[in-house]
Amino acid sequence: MPSRRHLAPLLAATLCAAAALLPAGASAGEQAYRAVAAARKLVASGQVPTGTRIVLGFKQGNINAFLGADLALQKEWENLTGIVLDAHIVPQQPIRETLRSTPGFDLAVARNHEYPDLLADGLITEIGPLMAEYGYRFDDNGTDGYMRPDLQSRVGDHTVAIPADGDIVLMYLRRDLMEDGQEQAAFHKAYGRPLAPPRTWTEYEDLVRFFHRPSQGLYGAAEERDEEGAWMYWMPRFLSSAAPLAELFDDQMRPRLNTPGALAATENYVAMVKYAPQGITDPGRNYNFTLPLFAQGKAFTTMNTIAGARMFNGEGSAVRGKFVAVPLPGWRVDNRLVRQSTLIYGNNLVIPKTARNPRLAFLYAMWATDPDVSTRLIGITGAFTDPYRWNHVRDARIRKIYTPEALETFSGEWAAAQPAGTGLQGDAQYLAALDRNLTAAARGEIGAQEAMSRTSAEWEQITDRLGRARQILQWQAFRRQFGGRP
C-alpha cells in the first residue's frame, strides 16, 4: 500500500497516463488532470503565488462531499497544486442571502432554481468564458457525462454553475409492507386493484390512506409540508396535470394556476397532511423531520432525492432492506398517463462575483467534479452529495451505498425531469408566494382554490413589478429551451 505521502505523486502520474491514453473529450481523469495542470501553470508563471487560498462556502453536510473523509481530497488537491483550500460552513439559508452578506467566497454551493436570481442580481460569475478558455464542456454522454447538464448549469444562454449534485425527486415506499401478503389482500379488497407502487397521484393517495395507522405508530406519508420548499412537492403534481406538461404562465405571463389541473395538484398536495404526523406543517419541519420518520419505520412513504436511499440504507436505519424507490406518479390526461418530475435542492458549484480567485476556484471545481474524483467523493461514507454523472450509478461502492434498485429508478427519472423553479428572474419571489399560499392551504387556513387564486394575484404583481415585457421575453426563451415547459 502506498503511503499517504506517496499518494499525491502517484495520483498525478496516474492522471497523466490517463490523459495521454484516453481520447479527447470528457473522459475519466482528464478533466482533473487538465485542472491540475492549469493550476500549476498559473503558479509556475507567477500569476498565482504558491499557497494562495481558495475560500469555499459550503453547507454543513458538504464538507466531506467536497473535501473527502478526513479531508483526504483537500490534502490531495493541495499537494498537487500548492493551492490551499479554506472551507467555511455557511448558514442553511438561500445562498443569495449568504453571498450578499458575506463577500469573499471563491466558490459556493447553490440550488438549481436559485441561478436566475443570482445571475440577475450580479452575485455569481458566468463561467462560460472559463470553460472555453480551458477547453471544458458539460458533456452528457452515457459513459461518464453529466446527467442533464442543461438543467443544472445554465440560465438561458449563460453557463453559471458546475453540476455537483443530482437532486431529482423520488418517491420511497415501504417495500416490506407492499410485499406483505395480508396487506396485499386487504388492499385489493378495499380498492379493487393489486397493491403496487402508485401510477397516479390518486392511487398514491389511496395507498397513503390505506397505510395510515397512527395508532400503530405508522403514518401514511412523511412528505414535507414546510413552507420553505413547499413548491418542490407541489410542482411534480402540477407539471403532470396537463399533456404534455402543464405550464405556470401563458404567453403573456398570466399565471395558469386556476386551471383544473393546478387545482387537482394543490388538493392532492393538501390532502397528504391528514396522513402525516401532527405538526407536519409547523415551520422547520423539513426533511430533518420527515426522513428520520421514514428511516425509523414510522411512515409508509416519503419523497426526497436519491440521498434518501443513502440514508435509509444506512446502518442505523430501521428500514434498511425494507424500502423501495419508485418513480413519481402522474395524472391521467386524455387517457394517457402524464408523469413529470423536477429538480429540487441541488448543491451545485457557483463562483461568486466577489471571488478573489475565480480562476482557481473554477479549476478546483472542475477537478472535484471529474468523473474519477467525484466518484471517490460520492463513494465515501458521510458525504452529502448525490450522483450526478452516469458513471456514478455504475460504481460498485456507490451502488452499495444507495442500493442498485434505487439507482435504477434514479437513472430513469431523469427522462421526466424538468428544471427547478420557474426559471425566471424573480424566481425567489414567485416561489415564496406559492410556498406561502400552499402552506396556508395545507394548514387549512384557506382552500386550494383560494391558494391558487392568491398565488395568481401575487404573481401578477411580481411580474408587473419586474417588468412584464422583460419577463415575457425570459419566459419565451425558457419555453424554447425546454420544449413548452414548465
Partner 1 sequence: MNPMRSPLLGRGLFRQSLLVRLSTMFALGGVLVATILLIGNRVLDDAKLRLEDTVIRQVQPLAATHRLQALSNELRALELELPSVHDVFALPQYAERMRSGVEGMTQELTPFLAALAATRPDDARRLEKHWLHYREDVEEIIRLAAAMDIAAVESVTSTRTRSAHAAISTTLRELVSTTEHAATDAYRQARDEQQQQQRFFLTLSLGGFLFLAAVLVVFARSLSRRLRALRDAASRLAAGEDREPIAISGDDEISDLGRAFNTMQDMVVSRERSLRTAQEELEDRVTQRTRALAMANARLWMLSQAVEQNPIGVLIANADRRVEYANAAYVRVTGRPADTLLASSLPKPADTDQSRAVDAEFRAALLAGGDWDGERRSRRPDGSEYWEHLRLVTMRNEHGAPAHVLLMREDISERRSQEEKVAYQAYYDSLTALPNRTLALDRLQQATGRASRDGTMCAVMFVDLDNFKQINDTLGHVAGDELLCQAATRLRSVIRAEDTVARLGGDEFLIILGITQASAADAAASKVIQAFTPPFQIEGREFIASPSIGVSLYPNDGDEPAVLLRNADLAMYEAKDAGRNTFRFFNQQIHDDSVARMEMERELRGALERGELEVHFQPLVAARDGRLVGAEALLRWTHPELGRVPPDRFIPIAEQSGLIVSIGNWVLDQACSHAAQWREACGGEFVMAVNVSPRQFAHAGLVDTIRACVERYAIPRNQLEIEVTEGLLIRNPGEVREAMLALEAAGVTVALDDFGTGYSSLSYLRAFPFHTIKIDRSFIRDLSEDAEDCALVVAAIRMARALGLRVVAEGVETEVQSRFLARQESDVLQGYLFGPPIPAQDFAADWVQNPARRAFSS
Contact 333, 243 (CB under 8 A): yes
85 scored as a contact of partner 1 (CB under 8 A): no
Binds partner 1 by CB under 8 A, chosen from 36, 56, 295, 407: 295
Hey, which residues does 350 pair with through a beta bridge? Answer: 108
Position 95 contacts partner 1 (CB under 8 A) = no
- Residue whose C-alpha is closest to residue 90's, from 109, 74, 75: 109
Residue 288 binds partner 1 (CB under 8 A) = yes
Q: Specify the stretch interacting with partner 1 by CB under 8 A; choose among 7-15, 64-72, 195-203, 458-466.
A: 64-72
Q: Is 317 in the site for partner 1 (CB under 8 A)?
A: yes
What one-letter code names the amino acid at 404? P
Closest by alpha carbon to 320, among 144, 175, 465?
Answer: 175
Q: Does 384 bind partner 1 (CB under 8 A)?
A: yes
Within positions 241 to 280, which residues make up the interface with partner 1, using CB under 8 A? none
User: Is 70 near partner 1 (CB under 8 A)?
Assistant: yes
If one asks whether residue 315 binds partner 1 (CB under 8 A), the answer comes out as yes
Instruction: Restricting to residues 322-381, name those near partner 1 by CB under 8 A.
Output: 381
Stretch that binds partner 1, among 167-175, 187-195, 310-318, 350-358 (CB under 8 A): 310-318
The smaller minimum CB distance to partner 1, of residues 321 and 382, is found at 382
> Which member of 69, 264, 273, 472 binds partner 1 (CB under 8 A)?
69
Count of residues in the chain? 486
316 is an interface residue for partner 1 by CB under 8 A:
yes
Cα gap 316→81, rounded to integer Å: 39
Select from 383, 432, 446, 448 the one that contacts partner 1 (CB under 8 A). 383
Alpha-carbon gap, residue 41 to 133, rounded angstroms: 14
Which amino acid belongs to residue 123?
Answer: L
**Which x/- pattern, by CB under 8 A, does the window 6-45 give for partner 1?**
----------------------------------------
Contacts of 32 (CB under 8 A, 6+ apart): 15, 366, 367, 370, 372, 373
Please pick, from the candidates 314, 333, 443, 482, the single residue that binds partner 1 as defined by CB under 8 A.
Answer: 314
Candidate segments 38-46, 227-235, 284-292, 332-340, binder of partner 1 by CB under 8 A: 284-292
Strands 53-58 and 84-89: what pairing? Answer: parallel
- Integer Cα distance of 307 and 410 in angstroms: 10
CA distance 215 to 345: 33
Residue pointed to by grid coordinates 407539471: 239
Provide the CA 446 distance to its chain's centre, in angstroms.
30
- Minimum distance between the CB of residue 286 and partner 1, rounded to whole angstroms? 9
Residue 307 makes contact with partner 1 by CB under 8 A: yes
Q: Which residues of 80-93 are buried (b: 16+ CB within 10 A; e: fewer)?
A: bbbbebebeebeee
Task: State which residue, 2 or 284, has the beta carbon closest to partner 1.
Answer: 284
Residue 287, interface with partner 1 (CB under 8 A)?
A: yes
**Residue 387, CA atoms < 13 Å, CB-side half-sphere:** 32
Interface stretch with partner 1, choices 54-62, 124-132, 142-150, 467-475 (CB under 8 A): 54-62
Q: H/E element holding 288? A: helix 287-295
> Would you say 288 or 461 has its CB closer to partner 1?
288
In the bound complex, what is the minimum distance in angstroms from residue 382's beta carbon to partner 1? 4
- The rounded Cα 208 to chain-centroid distance in angstroms is 25
Residue from 27, 31, 52, 64 in contact with partner 1 (CB under 8 A):
64
Q: Which residues bind partner 1 (CB under 8 A)?
A: 59-61, 63-64, 69-70, 92, 287-288, 291-292, 295-296, 307, 311, 314-318, 381-384
